[in-house]
Chains A and B, each alone.
Chain A
Amino acid sequence: MPEQQTITLTVNGRVHTKDVATRTSLADFLRDQLHLTGTHLGCEHGVCGACTVTVDGRSARACLMLAVQADGREVVTIEGLKDPAGVWHPVQKAFFENFAIQCGFCTPGFFATAIELLGQNPDPTEAEIREYLSGNICRCSGYQAIVEAVRAAAAAMQDHQRG
């Protein structure tokens, strides 16, 4: 039998303690054991970006991390982006309103990456957005609506900060 370990981690603000096979990726753990299937596997070799989640505040490919490596860490997935009142994150809202989602398979990874970008650079240019998102592949949209959505989210977040 594959080695099992018990891990404790926080996912979307909730603490979980689970037994997990050591070879299980963080992505498979989130999907199969926590039933958070919003994290999608597009390539399982770190190129497509669909599985990107946030680990301790930084974006990470969930397919390239073992679940056991997330022991003690804080993970945020697409299911955890809403605020406690259930209101969408500005990035979620902007993707929806700008038609930046077509098949939606790549969307969770774009959310994680875009949120990280806006955390570092609240007012990115189109070129900066395109560069930061270049590790996430979208096959449907041609990216234009995604870029517009990130700009819209940036504007909304700045407005919100200005109050």
Chain B
Amino acid sequence: MKAPVFDYRAPRSLAEATAILRDAGPDGRVLAGGQSLMPMMNMRIVAPGVLVDINRIEELARLDADGGTLRVGALVRHVDILHSPLVKAGWPLMSEATAYVAHPAIRNRGTTCGSVAHNDPAAEHPSVLLTLGGSVVIASAEGRREVKAEDFLQGLMTTALEPGEMIVELRYPPVRPGTGWAFVEFSRRLGDFALGGAAALLTLRGGVCEEARLTLVGMGEGPVRVTAAEALLAGQRIDEGTAPELFEAAVQLARRAVDPTDDVHAGAGYRRHLAGVMARRALARALLRSGRTHHA
């Protein structure tokens, strides 16, 4: 399990990195945290001709808020997210999800952007980005473009990234006051990729749901937003009395929204069942954390 030979480049600036990537074309590959890429290279599943190590580009380590938008640079590690008071205060869904990511040593190296770029269907961060309505800032030698999460995440481990491009940061818009959040996940062992999970946001004002977000994790191609359930919940008064019935309807929509596949850990039928369980748990927890602590 030794990695194949590659041309190793460690640019010091973004311009330098994108120039190398432009020249490398489809042969180029960005190395950030390396916690997904290096195993694949050790197993010789991937063999990039040019490996562009971006770890020396200091500007990519930025984690800050700009006009209420959270910016997560390409070198921000899971551990930085986990320990960030900024993230915890403004985007607690992200903090909660990050706690499910792997284990300490992996979180110390692995990056949020890398997780989104990899787009493993069972990974946490693509679904969080989708749920929070975030976007991906992509750079190439030609310049920058910003792509919405739903356009970026294109399916099973595929994204809108073109050869010559790299992610420079993720952007998460502000979460509206009164929004309850929950990220739930079920995996065989803590830190494993999820058998299934769900992210939910419920924005309540005066007991009425202004906006709902529900995304499922680990269900096939990639994160699945259950827009039908979101539409169903929006405008409804949600309280202890109405929640069971409303959530049950949302659960049924969630089960219908996914198209899971069999793998060694569970069959498609189990996963569809789990989609419902996770959706219900996420919505229930989000409700507990919503509105009531905020004034309308």
Question: Which residues does A use to contact B, with CB under 8 Å?
Answer: 2-3, 5, 22-23, 25, 28, 44-46, 49, 52, 58-61, 63-66, 68-69, 112-113, 116-117, 131-132, 134-136
B89 within 8 A of A: no
Chain A residues within 8 Å of B10, by CB: 68
Contact B105 A25 (CB under 8 A): no
| Chain B residues in 8 Å Cβ range of A132 | 104
Q: Are B1 and A45 in touch, CB under 8 angstroms?
A: yes
Q: Which residues of A contact B7 (CB under 8 A)?
A: 3, 22
**Residues in B neighbouring A5, C-beta threshold 8 A:** 8
The answer to whether B39 has its CB under 8 Å from any CB of chain A is yes
| Complex Cα spacing A59 to B110, Å | 12
Rounded to whole Å, the gap between the CB of A56 and the closest CB of chain B is 9
Closest to A44 in B: B1
Nearest chain B CB to A23 CB, angstrom units: 5
Which has the most chain B C-beta neighbours within 10 Å: A23, A63, A117? Answer: A23
Is the CB–CB distance between A3 and B5 below 8 Å? yes
**Interface positions of B (Cβ within 8 A of A):** 1-8, 10, 31, 34-35, 38-39, 42-43, 51, 53, 55, 79, 102-106, 108-109, 189-191
Give Cα A117 to B108, complex, Å.
13
Bound Cα distance A59, B39 (Å)? 17
Tell me the minimal C-beta distance from A33 to chain B in angstroms.
14
B2, B34, B189: the one contacting A65 at CB < 8 Å is B34
Residues on B with beta carbons closer than 8 Å to the beta carbon of A25? 2-3, 38, 42
Query: Known: A2-B5, A28-B2, A45-B1. Contact between A63 and B42, CB under 8 A?
Result: yes
Given contacts A61-B105, A64-B39, A68-B8, 18 further A-B contacts (CB under 8 A): A3-B8, A22-B6, A23-B4, A25-B3, A25-B38, A44-B42, A45-B43, A58-B79, A59-B104, A59-B108, A61-B109, A63-B42, A66-B38, A112-B105, A134-B189, A135-B103, A135-B105, A135-B191
Closest 9 CB pairs of A and B: A135-B103, A22-B8, A45-B39, A44-B1, A64-B38, A59-B105, A58-B108, A2-B5, A23-B3
From residue B10, how far is it (CB to closest CB) to chain A in Å?
Answer: 7
Which residues of chain B are within 8 angstroms of A49 by Cβ–Cβ distance? 103, 105
Cβ of B38 and Cβ of A63 under 8 Å apart?
Answer: yes
List, in ascending order, chain A residues with CB within 8 A of B106's CB. 46, 61, 135
Q: Which residues of A contact B8 (CB under 8 A)?
A: 3, 5, 22-23, 66, 68
| A122 CA to B237 CA, complexed, in Å | 46
A134–B5 contact, CB under 8 A? no
Which residues of A sit under 8 angstroms from B35, Cβ to Cβ? 46, 61, 64
> Which residue, A49, A61, A136, has most C-beta atoms of chain B within 10 A?
A61
**What are 12 A-B pairs with beta-carbon distances under 8 A?**
A3-B7, A5-B8, A23-B2, A23-B4, A46-B38, A46-B39, A49-B103, A59-B108, A64-B35, A64-B38, A69-B34, A134-B191
Cα distance A64–B34 in the bound complex, in angstroms: 6
Residue numbers in A under 8 Å from B42 (CB-CB)? 25, 44-45, 63-64
Q: How far is the CA of A74 from the CA of B205 in the complex (A)?
A: 52
- How far in angstroms is the closest Cβ of chain B from A15? 20
List chain A residues, Cβ under 8 A from B39.
44-46, 64
A136 contacts across to B, CB distance below 8 A: 103
**Residues of B contacting A116 with CB < 8 Å?**
104
A119 to B247, CA, bound (A): 43
Q: Provide the bound-state CA to CA distance between A5 and B104, in Å.
A: 29
The reply to whether B6 and A134 form a contact with Cβ atoms under 8 Å apart is no
CB closest residue in chain B, given A49: B105
Residues of A close to B3: CB separation below 8 A: 23, 25
Select A23's contact among B6, B55, B191, beta carbons within 8 Å: B6
Report yes or no: B104 in contact with A23, Cβ–Cβ below 8 A: no
**Interfacial chain A residues near B105, Cβ < 8 Å:** 49, 52, 58-61, 112-113, 135
Return chain A residues, CB-CB under 8 Å to B1. Answer: 44-45
Contacts of B108 in A (CB 8 A): 58-60
Closest to B55 in A: A69
A63 to B106 CA separation, bound complex (whole angstroms) = 11
Q: Which residues on B sit within 8 Å (CB–CB) of A46?
A: 35, 38-39, 106
